[in-house]
Amino acid sequence: MIEVKNLTKRYGKITAVDNISFSVDTGEVLGFLGPNGAGKSTTMNIITGYISSTSGTVTVDGSEILADPKKTKQKIGYLPEIPPLYTDMTVRKYLEFMFDLKRVRLPKKEHIAEIMRLVSLDKHGDRIIKNLSKGFRQRVGFAQALLGNPPVIILDEPTVGLDPKQIIEIRRLIKSLGKKHTVIFSSHVLSEISATCDRIIIISDGKIVADAKADELQSVLSGEQRLSLTVEGNPTQITEELEKIPDVLKVKKTGGSGYSVEYRQGADVRREAFSAMERINAPILEMKSGNESLEELYLRLTENAKGGER
């Protein structure tokens, strides 16, 4: 659906985006993760045609943004970091304007009403945008991006500045969008991305440092895998039993009744560990896979990318 090839953007001597390539499949929800200033917004602005790249191409559903801007832009709904709202208009008037601007060919009143319902704005259609709170403004921005049901929806940090309840609502909305649309959304909050996305791209200093399925990210990046266990019982017996499991490489006691089990990549030893412990009647109190939390991984990756200049 979206194909980004060798994208580079330079501002004078500063390289904001450095030769990145990725593609997004139809119906996929892609999370764009990176610290502030990593180049997320720049990349999104290029994909949507707001700014031009220094080199590289972006193709959306077969049409290229520079060669055929009108056709390409029609396929994208974009919510920039700061929602582009005309604050002197009412919500409905603004959406009607955006509807006309985007040349949507759907029944106007019904479509706008439907979108407003979707983002829970239906009771606020006649309010002037400048009197709305940040959360509501964000929703108006969201509604604007959804107008015309574009196949691709791009959201730049849609949850920044919202309260927890609104964040949960927006996440739910993004997830539901993923069924019909291809979605790219960016954030610097990791838990949010891992909760909503099928796939995650981590970007740091304009480069892609990781690109993986959300649930595979940890394992792909950390080489061999590790399981941490808290088990009650005789330590020697427990260690012996765990080492008998075929894929296990090493078992280490980590203090108290905690054990750390390293095993071959691609394998899954949780079930074997469970039955082994059951055999020797040693109850498992806690079992957690992965040695690094996603947070730690994220920090390590983005720090590594900066390594050169530190």
Partner 1 sequence: MAAIYKRELSGYFNSAIAYVVLAVFFFFSGFFFYAYCFVGDTTSLSYVFANMFYIIMFIIPVLTMKTFAEEKRQKTDQALLTSPVSLTEIVLGKFLGAFTVYGLCCVIFLLYGVVISFFAQPQWSVVLCTLLGILLLGASMIAINIFISSLTESMVVAAVVGMAAGLVIDTMGYFISIIPVPWISAALEKINFLNYYTNFTYGILSVVDVVFYLSVTGLFLFFTVRALERRRWS
Binding site for partner 1 (CB under 8 A): 11, 45, 48-52, 69-71, 73-74, 76, 78, 80, 82, 84-89, 93, 97-98, 100-103, 144
Shortest distance, position 76 Cβ to partner 1, whole Å? 7
Is 112:96 a contact under the CB 8 Å cutoff?
yes
What is the DSSP-derived secondary structure letter of residue 246?
T
Cβ proximity to partner 1, 141 vs 206, nearer residue: 141
Cβ proximity to partner 1, 128 vs 280, nearer residue: 128
Instruction: Copy the structure tokens of residue 194.
Output: 């891992």
Query: DSSP 3-state assignment of 307?
Result: helix
Cβ proximity to partner 1, 142 vs 298, nearer residue: 142
Q: Cα-atom radius of gyration of the chain, to the nearest Å?
A: 24
Is 108:96 a contact under the CB 8 Å cutoff?
yes
Cβ proximity to partner 1, 70 vs 165, nearer residue: 70
Residue 138, CA distances (Å) to 65, 77, 78, 281 in order: 26, 14, 12, 55
Shortest distance, position 222 Cβ to partner 1, whole Å? 38
Shortest distance, position 301 Cβ to partner 1, whole Å? 29
Half-sphere exposure (Cβ direction) of 127: Cα atoms closer than 13 Å: 13
Cβ proximity to partner 1, 137 vs 188, nearer residue: 137
Half-sphere exposure (Cβ direction) of 113: Cα atoms closer than 13 Å: 4
Cβ proximity to partner 1, 150 vs 206, nearer residue: 150
The residues near 233 (Cβ < 8 Å, ≥ 6 apart) are 257, 277, 280, 281, 282, 283
Cβ proximity to partner 1, 152 vs 210, nearer residue: 152
CA angle (135 as vertex; 171, 35 as ends), nearest 5 = 60
Shortest distance, position 149 Cβ to partner 1, whole Å? 14
CA dist 83 and 254 (Å) reads: 49
Is 112:99 a contact under the CB 8 Å cutoff?
yes
CA dist 54 and 19 (Å) reads: 10
Within 10 A of 296 (CB to CB), how many other CB atoms are there? Answer: 13
Give the bridge partners for 255, in sequence order.
258
Cβ proximity to partner 1, 102 vs 175, nearer residue: 102
Place of tokens 């945008």: 129
Shortest distance, position 269 Cβ to partner 1, whole Å? 49
Shortest distance, position 61 Cβ to partner 1, whole Å? 14
CA dist 202 and 49 (Å) reads: 22
Cβ proximity to partner 1, 12 vs 246, nearer residue: 12
Shortest distance, position 244 Cβ to partner 1, whole Å? 60
Shortest distance, position 65 Cβ to partner 1, whole Å? 10
Shortest distance, position 71 Cβ to partner 1, whole Å? 7
